[in-house]
Amino acid sequence: MGALAAGFWGFVGGAALLVGALIGIYAGASRRTIATVMALGAGVLISSVAFELMDEAYQRGGFDASALGLLLGAVAFFFADIAVNRRGGARRKNPGDKQGDSASAIAIGALMDGIPESAAIGISLLEGGNISAALVAAVFLSNVPEGLSSASGMKQAGRPVAYILGLWSGVTVASALAALLGYFFLASASEDVVATIQAFAAGAILTMLASTMMPEAYEEGGSVVGLATTAGFLLSFVLSHLE
């Protein structure tokens, strides 16, 4: 049941991409609105990295496993991000760009952003643990603006609606699989291994926030995103302490 629960909650987090895509195609939203939601999601993720992922990694494996995992995750995302950027996915979170020619890079970038988050959801359910509402909220809020902005850009570039929705549906399924596999392959692993992988996800998420999500939010939303980020941090902090 734990693996199924991990897959389900990973799907819920990934489905935010599809929700965002639907909004971007049929309803639309201003750049400032998208940026504000993005900043809110960034704040929630920062809090989740600190109070959910890294704290649990330290409790499981101590300083060595958590520090090693964090640094490995940051380096892995750094080089993967460079590769995706060179293929055209550098501004995958920016709602003002026409992104039709770089759709594959955008999808790969979304997977690269989302897989550590989804895997973290699966890891949180190990040993009969309860799902973290703060972590699921963090993943959901960070994915909505990415789906919205990318789908909006693809629509501007003339991509068919069926193509856009199919692309994000595939990414949503991949997110569910990442959560399921994160649970399945680590269910019998040692505490040090789980801690390292958990911290690896934290490092990748934190690097993603600093290099893509927060710069795009500030560029489109201005200084108000600082308040939105703080509000998101507080929301996640409260949720994590109510559980």
How does pLDDT run across 186-223, given as a tens digit for each residue?
Answer: 777 788 888 898 898 889 888 888 888 888 888 888 88
* DSSP for residue 123: H
Cα separation, 53 vs 6, in Å, equals 16
* DSSP for residue 1: -
Tokens 């750049």 locate to 31
Residues 128-140, mean pLDDT to the nearest whole number: 72
Sign, CA torsion 62/68/72/75: positive
Provide the Cα torsion 214, 122, 186, 180; round to 10°: -110
CA atoms within 13 A on the CB side of 197: 25
Residue 193 confidence (pLDDT): 87
Q: Select the highest-mean-pLDDT range: 3-7, 116-120, 135-139, 205-209.
A: 205-209
CA atoms within 13 A on the CB side of 8: 7
Q: What are the angstrom distances between the C-alpha of 133 and each of 68, 69, 126, 215, 243?
A: 26, 23, 15, 26, 8
Task: Give residue 82's pLDDT band: very low, low, confident or very high (50, 70, 90).
Answer: confident
DSSP secondary structure letters along 215-232:
HHHHHHHTTHHHHHHHHH
Cα separation, 230 vs 61, in Å, equals 29
Residue 100 confidence (pLDDT): 47
At residue 40, the 3 state secondary structure works out as helix
Which one, of 172, 170, 166, 208, lies nearest residue 73 by Cα?
208
- For residue 144, pLDDT over 50 is answered with yes
Please say whether the beta carbons of 221 and 36 come within 8 A. Answer: yes
| pTM for the whole structure | 0.77
- For residue 71, pLDDT over 90 is answered with yes
**Tokens representing residue 58 in the block:** 């330290």
Q: What are phi and psi of 2, to 5 degrees?
A: -60, -40
